[in-house]
Amino acid sequence: MGADHSAIHDGSGATLVVDLDAVAENYDTLRQKSPGAEAGAAIKADAYGLGLEPVARTLSAAGCRTFFVATVGEGLALRHILPAAEIIVLNGPSRESVSLILDASLSPTLNSLHQIDLWRHSGGDGDEAASAYLHFDTGMNRLGLGADEAEALFADPSRLHDISISTVMSHLACADTPDNPMNAAQLAAFRALRARLEGVIGPVRASLANSPGVFLGPDYHFDLVRPGAALFGLAPQIGARNPMRQTVEIYAKILQVRSVDTHMTVGYGAAHRVERPSRIATVGAGYADGYPRAAGSRSGETMHAFIAGHRVPLFGRVSMDLITLDVSDIPEALAVPGQEVELLGPHATPDSLAASAGTIGYEVIARFGNRLHRVYRGGVTRR
């Protein structure tokens, strides 16, 4: 991917290249890993920073029919793009959003007794308009009915009257580490809660697996899996080979090259001191474009960019608009103003950038800045 990306640079800023065919291929990989379940897609946060509309259209064309977003606003935006899709709002309804959810035929996730009561009194009478997902917390202690609320619900199941629970769900906390005992504990708790719920309302579809949960095996798949980050190329399991295709590349250009000598410093805070005569290239991208500021300031995890396949380390702190690289060890002819630099691409992944910044790949791609010039390859970008 990215063979002709240089043609669309404006001469100073950075370009994000998104491979939509890779997104579709990753969806197919996840679907094949969970053959007994429907494969949905979590595309919250602007499709994890890649762009809601092109990603949604590409996944829909690849066969995805069920989409998860975080907020009602995201759900409304997606409804304009995919009029017939099932769209689930993970954060659930608020008093202010009930009418918006109903009007747009979104499915709220009911995470608390308060949300259950709110949705029950929303005006639905058991028909499709009152359909919802029900979320039990099994260990995240984030969203979902905790143990006390679950017991209160089972003690008074009339609270579910006039609500059509289409799916019961929970969320795995440690699925990216397959040998973590919490995975089995959450699985057992979820099975027990589903069985109790079915004793009240009858058979109900179930969903537990996120991206890493898909790779825990069929016991975790149930009826519906809901991958997110793996769709966009991030590694689903810590320490294992990444089976997903990379979907993003970032390219920027060298703006200036200067020679520096021993004991001089580079960047804010004078935090990086030169230890030998060096050449420093300044590149037109920074944390306003989503490149983590911490990537240039952590010790022991130096991030590298690539120039014509040559590995060059960051040197100095990442600033809002600029990155500085030590290009002392590559041919001078390759380190000149206008030269293209690979910040992410075949040699540098979002996961490796995240490791250098002390964060996770999810945060890296979700924070791609609006200033990045975006180019889409393949897939479906418009009607």
H helical segments located in the chain: 20-33, 44-48, 52-61, 72-81, 98-103, 113-120, 147-155, 181-201, 211-214, 350-357, 361-366
Are residues 265 and 219 located together in one domain of the fold? Answer: no
Give me the helix-helix angle, 72-81 and 52-61, nearest 10°. Answer: 60
Are residues 178 and 97 located together in one domain of the fold? Answer: yes
Mean pLDDT for 144-150 is: 96
Are residues 257 and 214 located together in one domain of the fold? Answer: no
- pLDDT at residue 28 is higher than 80: yes
Are residues 65 and 193 located together in one domain of the fold? Answer: yes
- What per-residue confidence (pLDDT) applies to 121? 83
- What per-residue confidence (pLDDT) applies to 379? 78
- What per-residue confidence (pLDDT) applies to 111? 97
Please tell me the least confidently modeled range out of 109-118, 177-186, 253-262.
Answer: 253-262
Are residues 207 and 274 located together in one domain of the fold? Answer: no
Mean pLDDT for 42-50 is: 95
Mean pLDDT for 221-236 is: 96
Q: Which position has the token pair 């996120």?
A: 210
Share of the chain above pLDDT 70, in %: 92
Are residues 220 and 255 located together in one domain of the fold? Answer: no
- What per-residue confidence (pLDDT) applies to 301? 66
- What per-residue confidence (pLDDT) applies to 343? 95
- pLDDT at residue 4 is higher than 90: no
Are residues 258 and 222 located together in one domain of the fold? Answer: no
Task: Return d(Cα 92, Cα 111) in angstroms, integer.
Answer: 7
Are residues 87 and 224 located together in one domain of the fold? Answer: yes
Tell me whether residue 268 is one of the annotated catalytic residues.
Answer: yes
Flag whether 21 is in a domain. no
Are residues 273 and 157 located together in one domain of the fold? Answer: no
Band of residue 296 on the pLDDT scale cut at 50, 70, 90: low
Share of the chain above pLDDT 90, in %: 75
Flag whether 202 is in a domain. yes
- What per-residue confidence (pLDDT) applies to 1? 45
Flag whether 102 is in a domain. yes
- pLDDT at residue 54 is higher than 90: yes
- pLDDT at residue 9 is higher than 70: no
Active-site residue, from 27, 44, 48, 287: 44
Task: Return d(Cα 330, Cα 324) in angstroms, integer.
Answer: 15
Flag whether 173 is in a domain. yes
Please tell me the least confidently modeled range out of 8-17, 308-317, 374-383.
Answer: 8-17
- CATH code at 99? 3.20.20.10
Are residues 149 and 264 located together in one domain of the fold? Answer: no
- pLDDT at residue 3 is higher than 70: no
- pLDDT at residue 125 is higher than 50: no
- What per-residue confidence (pLDDT) applies to 122? 79
- pLDDT at residue 5 is higher than 80: no
Flag whether 313 is in a domain. yes
Average predicted confidence (pLDDT) for the chain: 90
Among residues 231, 262, 294, the one where a domain terminates is: 231
Please tell me the least confidently modeled range out of 50-54, 119-123, 257-261.
Answer: 119-123
- What per-residue confidence (pLDDT) applies to 7? 39
- What per-residue confidence (pLDDT) applies to 161? 87
| Single pTM value for the model | 0.91
- What per-residue confidence (pLDDT) applies to 133? 97
- CATH code at 345? 2.40.37.10
Flag whether 237 is in a domain. no
Task: Please state the domain count of the chain.
Answer: 2
Are residues 86 and 211 located together in one domain of the fold? Answer: yes
Mean pLDDT for 225-232 is: 96
Band of residue 315 on the pLDDT scale cut at 50, 70, 90: confident
- What per-residue confidence (pLDDT) applies to 210? 97
Among residues 170, 203, 231, the one where a domain terminates is: 231
Band of residue 262 on the pLDDT scale cut at 50, 70, 90: confident
Mean pLDDT for 54-68 is: 97
Task: Return d(Cα 303, Cα 319) in angstroms, integer.
Answer: 15
> Helix (H, G, I), strand (E, B), or coil: what is residue 12?
coil
Mean pLDDT for 140-156 is: 95
Are residues 262 and 168 located together in one domain of the fold? Answer: no
Task: Return d(Cα 68, Cα 91) in angstroms, integer.
Answer: 10
Which residue segment(s) compose the domain that 108 sits in?
34-231
- What per-residue confidence (pLDDT) applies to 381? 66
Task: Return d(Cα 78, Cα 302) in angstroms, integer.
Answer: 38
Mean pLDDT for 61-65 is: 96
Mean pLDDT for 136-151 is: 96
Among residues 199, 231, 263, the one where a domain terminates is: 231
Task: Return d(Cα 35, Cα 347) in angstroms, integer.
Answer: 32
